[in-house]
Amino acid sequence: MSELHWTEADRRRVAELEARLGMELPDGAAALASLTHSSYVNEHPGEGRIDNERLEFLGDAVIDLAVSERLVARFPEDPEGVLTRMRAALVDEEGLSTVARTMQLGELLLLGRGEEQTGGRDKPSVLADALEAVICVVFQAAGLPGVHALVDRFFGPALDRVQEGLLRDAKTLVQEAVQSRFRSPPRYRVVSEQGPDHLKVFTVEVLAGGETLGRGEGHSKKEAEQAAAREALRRLTPGTA
């Protein structure tokens, strides 16, 4: 393979990636490769270009690990099934491409003419692959702490949305399961309120058929109801949670 001859545009591209990540990437060639689509390499033979496919392969495993660690720490009471669903929603093609758009990663990519003309800079598969490659480069430069910092910075809002969506889904599933089993809807009851107003903790029970199906806590009644619904869901339909 011929040696890569850097252009000023290449250097600016890597510098901009470093600025967006908020960190230096000592291996500039790897950083540039993370932004290089295979279509560009195919159209520029002899330039020593490397595409991002190998970096993407490792980055896929790294982001799975980093997101899994954050989910386990953030949701210590959730079973494997719920954590798996959360992770899947965060690191699937749609989730990764959304984060890539937040970083405006598309405008930094090196694409072949055909890929460029077919909207490659905003194509979910291209963006997701590029983000995985970038994550690999961050891992090589700063280890898992660097990847965790990236996850905390760019995946935080997605974590919140995924949690909220799954919790709403839990209440819906509980409603359906209780209605089927008891022929009446579940009832949520506030058991206690503790702490000052700005740090109040509510405890809520969900009841049906004369029994308590679940209990949960939260900093709002809604949050506590959702936590209670999740516990009830584990009892009513263990395979789904």
Known catalytic residues are 60, 132
Q: Are 51 and 32 in contact (CB under 8 A)?
A: no
- The Cα 58–Cα 38 span in angstroms is 17
Q: Are 115 and 126 in contact (CB under 8 A)?
A: yes
In the block, which residue shows the tokens 């997605």? 158
- Which amino acid is present at 150? L
Among 67, 58, 145, 140, smallest CA distance to 99 is for 67
In the block, which residue shows the tokens 């890539």? 100
Residue 36 DSSP code: B
Among 34, 43, 38, 41, smallest CA distance to 13 is for 34
- The Cα 161–Cα 167 span in angstroms is 10
Which residues does 237 contact at the CB level (< 8 Å), separation at least 6?
A: 173, 177
- The Cα 57–Cα 40 span in angstroms is 19
